[in-house]
Amino acid sequence: MLKRSVVMVMAALVMASSIPAFAQQKDECLLASQNCKDQVDSIQQKMQRLRTEIKKGKKVYTAQELSVLKEKLKDVNAQLDDLLKPGR
């Protein structure tokens, strides 16, 4: 009886520890060099999505992928700044 309980507890722990890995997935549309055809975001939405993905960090993304996401966030910020310039 005790052996069975220990096995069940261990199985539950293994399954519980694997859940976070599946919960956080890469946003392939943000990583792709072109825009996804099915997804249209405002500049603010895209900025928020990029920030959310960057916060996932190295648990989800490689260092190179994080660099790409940060560069895209920088580009989107520049686009917003350009749109908000007076006289535009």
How confident is the model over 2-51, as pLDDT tens digits?
666 656 666 666 555 544 555 578 888 887 755 576 777 888 999 999 99
Is residue 72 situated within a structural domain?
yes
* Residue 40 domain flag: yes
Mean pLDDT of 68-86: 93
Domain holding 58, by residue range, is: 26-83
Residue 66 to residue 56: CA distance in whole angstroms? 9
- How many C-beta atoms surround the C-beta of residue 53 within 10 A? 23
Considering the domain boundaries, does residue 60 fall inside one? Answer: yes
Instruction: Flag whether 67 is in a domain.
Output: yes
The pTM for the full model equals 0.66
Q: Structurally, how many domains does the chain consist of?
A: 1
The answer as to whether 8 is a domain residue is no
What are the angstrom distances between the C-alpha of 58 and each of 3, 14, 29, 77? Answer: 38, 22, 18, 23
